[in-house]
Amino acid sequence: MVEAAALQAIYVKAQLQRCHSVLMGEAAALALGASIVQALQISHCNFLSDSQQLVHFLHQENQQNPFQWRIKPFTQVFTNIAATIQSQLFKINRNQNTTADILTKQARSSMLTFQNCNCTRPLCGPICTLFQALLQVDLNSVSILAASCCG
């Protein structure tokens, strides 16, 4: 989950091709979140993850040797973008991660498509800035399926 602004919530449904582990999915989600933050030109962001192993790895000074090589492209994207903005990565308990659980369940039953980006944020005006930013996000093997911008 990405905390972009005090009164803004952004939810993105995405699909990762050839996901080999839960850890890889979590790393891809962080990379996607960071890519969206960059596309929206947000200068301060907090990232949350319930993966202790991933958070610990991303807090290390040397990130050259991840414990799963398949996560390297995603951790590198996250690290590169996070270094360009004021950001922090926090580990949260799984039982506190109810928003992600609810969104996962909703995403499985959702019929929304990316072309029908849902924006209820009054500041966006007729053209949603989230939708425009998502068009700029290009992350290998990650497809954005739906998005919602609330304010």
Q: What's the pLDDT tens digit per position in 85-102?
A: 999 999 887 776 666 666
**Tens digit of each residue's pLDDT (9 = 90 or more) over 88-139:** 999 887 776 666 666 656 655 554 445 445 565 555 555 667 778 888 888 8
Chain CA centroid to CA 79, Å: 13
DSSP string, 87-120: EEEEE--GGG-HHHHHHHHHHHH----GGG-EE-
As a whole number of angstroms, the distance between CA 66 and CA 75 comes to: 8
Mean pLDDT score across all residues of the chain: 79
143 to each of 16, 100, 135, how far by Cα in Å?
A: 7, 18, 11
Q: What is the maximal distance between C-alpha atoms in the chain?
A: 45
2-150, CATH topology level: Nucleotidyltransferase; domain 5 (3.30.420)
Contacts 24+ apart (CB under 8 A), 102-107: 103/11, 103/13, 107/13, 107/145, 107/146
Q: Which two tokens stand for residue 55?
A: 């958070």
80 or 134, higher pLDDT: 80
Q: Which two tokens stand for residue 18?
A: 């050839």
88 CB contacts (<8 Å, ≥6 apart)? 46, 47
Strands 142-150 and 118-119, sheet pairing: parallel
What's residue 95's pLDDT?
72
3-state class (DSSP) for residue 76: helix
